[in-house]
Structure 1
Amino acid sequence: MHRLLLLLLLAAPACVPLGTPITDPNAARQPGQQRPPEYYADKALRYEDYVYDPDVRTVQCYVGTGVNTEVFQPPIVPISQQQPIVLEFDLLGSSSERMTAKLVHCDADWKPSVLTDMQFLNEINEFLITDYRTGVNVKVPYYHYRMQVPRVKLSGNYLLVVSGAGGVPVLSRRLLVYENSVEVAIRQGIPVAGQERYTLQQVDFSIGYGGFNIVNPSQEIKVMLRQNFRWDNAKTNLRPTFVRDAERRLDYQYFNFENAFAASSEFRYADLRSLRVAGAGVAQLDPAASPRAVVLSPEATRNGQSYSQFDDINGQRVIESREYGNGATNADYANVTFQLRAPSAAPGPVYVFGALSDWQLKDEFKLTYNEEQKQYTGTALLKQGYYNYYYVVGKPSGPPDDVYFEGSHQETENQYDLLVYYRPPGTRADLLIGYQMLAVNSRRP
């Protein structure tokens, strides 16, 4: 720890540009199709998971555990980094492009820290991605890129930025590296209310700092609580409800739902692993179309219905081809049409939402309401695989409403994790000093 503090004390400012939102088109396209010149024109960097180039697709960032479920592991590793963080993505088109990556160390609020590259890296902060292969026997040509993120020397938040020709960013991903300097205890609580206990899930936690020297822990420690590894609805600015100086412990147990989330329902699913035989949730296939076309079965709202239990993957996805195996280069892309029945239009725009949309309200996944058919429809270009998703309603501010169409049941299986940050006195960057996960209503052994 003393070595880490010395490195931080030597910090100096670094400049990285800030950015503004970029939107995606509503209709899927084939590579090379003409687009309006203003589309994706703003390439300024955003400090979040984002895609800046419409030809970059199917971005996956996970911990390479070596097992077939590794894609479900969020990009969070201990400071030992014995298992690397892996990034994979596709670039649509018939020609490859030189891609480079770099890391940006960020503070707890995801603004760039003032550390120099050599204070968190042992090498030059520019990494050429040399592992790329072309898609095989596909109607939508693409190149598949893969890289392992280099080891870092400090814990904290990192933004991995991949750039193409001219150093223009094409994608960015948030990564976390943590220490176990404090003891984190996290458990499921019970919302103190009436009806809410049937629709919300509350997470209580405590932080023990007995072996860690903190002068004013209630003010100096920052925490962030997430559901299913999402950033859009994370709980921030949580202050301890009890400060136990004698025990050197902070307790966080609220009574006004500050640490409670809508439990929602298990995620909807669509099996697109085969483009020859209709999988679960698929109504029609057109393998002769280019790109291939898939129409999903019409779905209905689940709000007001009783809870239905089935296994899901918490909004994630698995890229795979049933016909040819390796999904990285053998899976093809298809235009996938979603259909959602609704007796009337929702009070806001409706989107397909999940890891397939980077947990963002992207225009490509926006649905259009047909008053005569009483149905929402929309089409997006997706790679073969197994997908989880919700239908959500966008709001003017804050996270989208996933209860309007999905309902909410405290029996739902969800994952939660807690991030604990601390900035040592006299230093200029936040360290991630504790991390813990919690599976609520898990049905896995």
Structure 2
Amino acid sequence: MRTPFFKIITLILLIFSASLSAQVENEVTAPYNIKTISFLQSDQNVIPIFKLGEGFQLQFDDLFGNEANYYYEITHCDYNWVPTNIPKNEYLLGFDNQRIQDYTNSFNTLQIYSHYKLSIPNLFTQQLRISGNYIIKVLNENKEVVFSRKFILCEDVVTVPMQVKRARTVSTIELKHNLDFAIKSNVITFQNPMKNVKVVLLQNGQFNNTIKNVIPQYTIGNDLIYKYDPETQFWAGNEFLFFENKDIRSASNNIARIDSNTAIYGSYLYTNDARTNFPYSFTQDVNGDFVVNNINATNPEIEADYVWVYFSLSAPTFRLKKNIYVGGMFNNYNLTPEYKMEYNPQKGIYEKAILVKQGFTNYKYIVADDKGVIDYENAIDGNFYQTENDYTVLVYYRENTDRYDRVVGKGIANSLNITN
């Protein structure tokens, strides 16, 4: 006969083993042959934060161009990106683990590729039923994960009035943006908001520098007020750099020369100077986004070519023992060797050649250590409070009886309207 003590020990071990098995879902970086992964709505690249019930697409290219079979799997996650225990049929109407059937081979391009499109909803996956964090995995024929991407579905039952302000700390007043915001709702009466309400703050839709686990500073009735200083601050950064090669045979915006003597065209960009010690200068950007385009084609999705883009950076005062990467939405800001710059001692500059689909591309230089920890304070291009950035606040709420973290609303603001 088992004693009560034995039962307690068994229960503790079961809980401990369950916690060990709860693994955080991180995005799996795509291999070299998978390029130009993007979420789209109305044929426009978007940050993957969608209103519950809206449709969207996931698109990508396979440079092998062999019409490989790819499958997809969708997993619902909690606030911390740990898969929830909710049965799949409760958050997904229909089926996943289906083959992606919409694909087309490139046409009239030097670099062959197969272009894949996955629409959600579709014939098999008819609806995603609940809000929250999701991760979509693309699998090969052996059901091995090729790459994965996060996306978020949100409801619209709270409002989030917010404002971008300069930092109140004297040492960083010229360098940071601070977010002041509130959470209001006429639909939800918040239960224990200090515990049950959580927020995520994003800068330009990036998931690699989110601010989390900030509780309300105080409440006024059912309104939750957040007026922190360091807890809700982002390094302001600088405007994104860009190039445009919608005609790969001619040197245009920020492209110094074209190399047509190789199998694939090469675009050599003008050497960028590190802007950290220069005064701030406004440059129109799209906050890291990109647009696939070929002015000589009718369907850029399959007629835009790939080009070797040669990046170069002059940063003579860069002395940190860290790495420099080229990043943007075009490569999901990945800090992999494929995007790591190498120092050329003969020229005294950093260089990197990256295969990019032609069009308009925003990019920036990212400083990070070998573990992938980004150094925002010592950014190559500096930090300036005048920088134009988009900011998003996502509100998560779990009532005492709920089994998952709902995303009940979001707020957006732009630092063009910054105040002191």
Provide TM-score, normalisation by structure 2: 0.88
Map Cα deviations across residues 181-215 of structure 1 (whole Å, 9 max, x no partner): 22322112332122422221111111124531332
Three-state SS of the structure 1 residue aligned to 2:195 is: helix
**8 Å contact from structure 1 (residues 233, 398) kept in 2:** no
1:390 corresponds in structure 2 to 364
2:297 maps to 1:324:
yes
Equivalent position to 1:260, from 233, 238, 246: 233
Distance of aligned partners of 1:191 and 1:114 in 2 relative to their CA distance in 1, 3 Å threshold? same
1:18 Cα deviation (Å)?
8.4
Q: Determine if the alignment matches structure 1 residue 211 to structure 2 residue 182.
A: no
Equivalent of 2:265 in 263, 276, 292: 292
Q: Tell me the CA shift for residue 313 of structure 1.
A: 0.7
Question: Please, which of 70, 73, 76 is the counterpart of residue 99 of structure 1?
Answer: 70
Q: Specify the code of the residue in structure 2 equivalent to 1:384.
A: Q
**Residues 413 and 442 in structure 1, CA contact (< 8 A), matched pair in contact too:** no
- The whole-number CA distance in structure 2 between the counterparts of 1:94 and 1:357 is 19
Alignment-derived partner of residue 114 in structure 2? 143
Give matches, 1:122-271, under 5 Å. Answer: 122-150=93-121, 151-244=127-220, 247-255=221-229, 257-271=230-244
Q: Percent sequence identity over matched residues?
A: 27
- CA distance 1:345–1:79, change in 2 (3 Å): closer
Which of 279, 282, 285 is residue 309 of structure 1 equivalent to?
Answer: 282
Could you give the per-residue CA deviations for residues 228-249 of structure 1, whole angstroms, max 9, x where no partner exists? 00111110111111122xx211
Preserved CA contact (<8 Å) 1:392 1:403: no
Tell me how far 1:52 sits from its aligned partner. 3.6
SS at match of 1:389: strand
- Structure 1 residue 281, shift from structure 2 partner: 1.3
Offset, 1:107:
0.5
Deviations 1:223-270 (A, max 9, x none): 0100000111110111111122xx211111113x21111111110111
State the shift of 1:272 in Å: 2.1
Cα contact 2:237–2:379 (8 A) shared by 1: no
2 CA distance for matches of 1:219 and 1:429?
14
Measured in 1, the distance between the counterparts of 2:310 and 2:213 equals 40
Is the CA contact 2:166–2:177 (under 8 Å) kept in the aligned structure 1? Answer: yes
Alpha carbons of structure 1 residues 272 and 47: separation in structure 2 relative to 1, 3 Å: farther
Paired residues of 2:164 and 2:417 also in contact (CA < 8 A): no
Counterpart selection for 2:32 from 54, 62, 84: 54
1:281 correspondence with 2:261: no
Structure 1: which 5+ residue stretches go unaligned? Answer: 1-13, 20-45
Q: Which amino acid aligns with 1:240?
A: P
User: RMSD of the TM alignment (CA)?
Assistant: 2.2
TM-score when normalising by structure 1: 0.83
Q: What is the one-letter code of the residue matched to 1:407?
A: G
Mark the CA change 1:145 to 1:442 in structure 2 (over 3 Å): closer, same or farther.
Answer: farther
* SS across alignment from 1:399: coil
SS at match of 1:314: coil
Q: 8 Å contact 1:61–1:173 — kept in the other structure?
A: no
